[in-house]
Structure 1
C-alpha cells in the first residue's frame, strides 16, 4: 500500500448466511476503496446499503466472505491495529451510573494510559465536547445529544490516528452540531483521518473531503464532494452592474456593455439531490456498477449525465 493510503479494500464482499449456511443477504459486493491519510471521508447510503457492514469489516468485528481490507498497511483482521483507532458507534454503549469523568477514566485504563496522562486527556476531552458543567452528572441523566458528546470524547481517549464516527451529530441541536463539525475539522488539521457514516447529508456536505455512496451493497459513486456536486454541462456567469438589456447575452455581449465579469464557472447541486438521484437510478437499473474515476469528472458523468438537475435560471452553453 502507498504510505498515503490509510485504508484500502479490494473486492471486499460480505454475504450473511442462514443457519444452514445458505446465502441469505448480500450485504457488500466487491467494494474497492481507498482512503487517504488526513482526509475526512464520508460513507453514505440508505438503510441496508452496507455502511455498517463496511465499518465492522474495517474494525475486524466481521470477516469478509471474499476480498481483503487493509488499515495502516496491515490486514483488518489484525486486532493490534485497534489501538490506533477511535470508534463512535451509532448507539453509544455507556455505563449509565458512571459520570463523564469516570467513563473516560475507565476507557483510558483499557488503553493502559498512565494516571497523569489519563487525567490530562480526560480534562481536555470533556472541555472539547462542552461537558465541563455536567462532568459529575451520571450518564443516565444525559440527553441524547450529551451522550453523543461523551461518546465522541470516549472515541478520542487514546489519541487515535484514525477515527470512525457513525452518525456523530445525531440528537444534537444546531449549535451542538456546528460545534461537533468544528471539532472534526480541528482533528483533520491535527493530521487525523476521519471516516464518517451518516444520513444527514447537509452535514456531510459541509465537512467531507470525499464521499462514497453505497446502495444495496454496491459502490455507486465516489469522488471529491466539490467535483460530484458540480453540474458539468451548465455554465453560470456572475456579473456586476449588468444592464437589464444584456441579461440574455453571452460573455462577449457582457464585455461590450462594459459590465464587470466576476466569475464563469459551473453551478453545483446539493449532496441530497445527488444522493437521491443515485439511489433512484440504482433502483431503475439494478446491478449497474459505477465506472472508473476521471480527473475532474464524477464517475457517473461518463454514462448517465452529470449529477443533479441544473437550475432553470442558469444559461446553458451554446
Structure 2
C-alpha cells in the first residue's frame, strides 16, 4: 500500500525547474531516504507533500487524500530542517502548544509528551527555556513535536543535522521502532552514511529529476559498490566542497 504517491509531479519557479516529472512512492512501514545535493529539489518536494506548494503538473496522494486536506494533515508529522520555536517556552510548554493545535486532549498531551521528552533525551532539560538549547537539542525537540500526535506518516527534512553521535544512534533506533509499528518515514538528507544505515529504500534527485531509486541491497550490488559510489557516479560533477 502506498502511503505517499507522487505521479509525474513538476514545479517551476520562473526559469528554474525545481522538480521535473518526479514519480515516487512510500509504502506503509517503510523508511525512504530522499537524497541529493543542495538545490536538487528535495525541500520543494516536501513542501508540495505538505500542501504548502501546489505542483504545476502531476498528482500527489498522501494517505489516500490530498496534501491540503485537514484530515490528511492531521495524520502527518513534520520536522523542518530549521525550526523556529518560541524561545521563552520550555519543551513541556512547546508540546502543550503543538498538541493544542492538533486538537489533542490535555491529558493525552501531557502523557505522550512526557514519554517523548524522555525518549529523545531531553528529560533533564525539561524546564530549561528553548533559547538555551543547542542546535542538537532543538532537533530533538523537533522530533518530539513531530511525533506528539502519533502520526501515520513522518516527513523529516535533514533530521540528523546537529545531532551528536549518541543522539544519532538513539534517533535511528526510534525511527526503526516506528517503522516496525507500521509507520512510514520519508526524510530528505545529503548524509549518505546515515541513509545506508537506516533506509529500506533511497531515491536520488538530480536537478529536480529522479535519477536512481532502489533498496540498500540493490545499492550494494555484488559488494563492490555502495550508496556513496552510486551518488558520486550520478552527481559527482555537482558535489561542492
Deviation of 1:173 after TM superposition, in Å, equals 1.1
Q: What is the number of equivalent residue pairs in this alignment?
A: 239
**Is the CA contact 2:136–2:161 (under 8 Å) kept in the aligned structure 1?**
yes
Query: Retained in 2: the 8 A contact 1:15–1:25?
Result: yes
Matches within 5 A, 1:190-205: 190-205=181-196
CA shift for structure 1 position 80 = 2.7
Q: CA deviation at 1:104?
A: 0.6
Matched, 1:5 2:2: yes
The structure with higher relative contact order (CA 8 Å, sep 6+) is 2
Confirm whether residue 78 of structure 1 aligns to residue 69 of structure 2. Answer: yes
SS in 2 for 1:47: coil
Matches within 5 A, 1:86-235: 86-230=77-221
Higher helix fraction: Structure 1 or Structure 2?
Answer: 2
> Is 1:50–1:217's contact at 8 Å kept on the other side of the alignment?
yes
User: For residues 214 and 150 of structure 1, what CA distance do their matches in structure 2 show?
Assistant: 28
Q: After TM superposition, which residue ranges in structure 1, 4 or more long, deviate above 4 angstroms?
A: none
- Retained in 2: the 8 A contact 1:44–1:214? yes
On the 8 A contact 2:33/2:195 being kept in 1, the answer is yes
Cα deviation code 1:61-83 (max 9, x no counterpart): 00111111111122223243110
Q: C-alpha distance in 1, partners of 2:100/2:65?
A: 26
Cross-structure match for 1:273: 229
Distance 1:166 1:103 in 2: 20
C-alpha contact 2:12 2:19 (8 A) present in aligned 1: yes
Name the structure 2 match of 1:39. Answer: 30
1:181-237 C-alpha deviation (Å, 9 max, x unpaired): 11111111111100111111101110000011001011000111211221xxxxxxx
Which one has the largest radius of gyration? Answer: 1
Q: Secondary structure at the match of 1:273?
A: helix
In the alignment, is the contact (CA less than 8 A) between 1:10 and 1:31 conserved in 2? Answer: yes
Unaligned runs of 5+ in 2: none
CA contact (8 A) 1:60 1:79 kept: no
What is the alpha-carbon root mean square deviation over aligned residues? Answer: 1.4
Q: Give, in whole Å, the separation in 2 of the partners of 1:7 and 1:282.
A: 28
Q: Is the 8 A contact 1:85 1:161 kept in 2?
A: yes
Matched, 1:14 2:31: no
CA contact (8 A) 2:219 2:226 kept: no
